[in-house]
Chains A and B, each alone.
Chain A
């Protein structure tokens, strides 16, 4: 397991590090600025979907969806970050305890 842990970690670090070595003028280009703005939005939207609905390569609707819906409501009410995830976790845990969701 150690080779995987170390190689994967080194690669993840180099991806971050590389961004600081890229020439400044790349950022001045409007297309780069557009991609830099929209890429994280797309990736975060994808992360939400994968984390909420993916289950061993299939789509599943379970307690995670309840947590995500609660998070959307809480975010729209401008709750602090910690409150959003705390309430989502508690609500999902309670719903699972009573067998309301998987």
Chain B
């Protein structure tokens, strides 16, 4: 991996993305504690669940008085996107059997996006593997450190909104989606999915609009040809 021409650039991006997620890892830690989770539970979510949107959904549903089942549904529906990520990463990262549990745990938005971004760098796919592992490990370390800091600092920053941390999460999702909008068709799919989510928010439980967006995008995909996207 180190022999890659762009290894240092990939490493630098991986660390940058890790530091970037720290902003909302901090926000998650603060939010979880203020919702009534203790530090051990908050850290278990960041280390074991380790998929930001699901973690926020769980804490959000519990915070708004949602049921056990509603909290589980929101968490798993949001985590469902990791399944196609994992199917794609199986091909691109191709981990050895013994490394699959680690690869699975590190299969998240950021590591998947980095692997996809580097899959055409060179014919062996080593750059994509480096992108996946370095980003996954970097995000894991910074995400958990930041969660701990946020959890411990909650008494000082009792209001994550005052720091714009909720806007930082929106911005993070924008920054993750942007590189995937490579052509007009993909942009159109994203816009249609966005409209579907917007229309669904007033009528469905938290998490459902996102699943509907995914379902619509998949349905549009079934009507296309591979070379069109």
Contact = CB atoms under 8 A, between A and B. Distances in A.
Interface string A10-34: 1111011111101010110011111
Interface of B is mostly: helix
A93 B162 contact: yes
A26 B5 CA distance: 33
Contacts of A33: 226
B36 A89 contact: no
B176 interface: yes
A17 B190 contact: no
B167 A12 contact: no
A85 B189 contact: no
B170 interface: yes
Given A5-B41, A75-B174, A19 B167 contact: no
A12 B174 contact: no
Interface in B153-173: 161-173
Interface string A79-102: 011101111111111001100000
A48 B177 contact: yes
Interface string B30-57: 0000001110010011001111011000
Contact of B82 (A19, A37, A66): A19
A23 B217 CA distance: 23
A48 B86 contact: no
Contacts of B214: 39-40, 42-43, 46
A49 to B, nearest CB: 4
A41 B103 contact: no
A71 B45 contact: no
Nearest to B180: A41
B216 interface: yes
B194 A81 contact: no
17 contacts: A6-B48, A9-B48, A11-B76, A12-B76, A15-B83, A19-B104, A24-B90, A36-B87, A38-B186, A38-B217, A42-B190, A48-B177, A50-B210, A64-B170, A82-B16, A84-B172, A85-B23
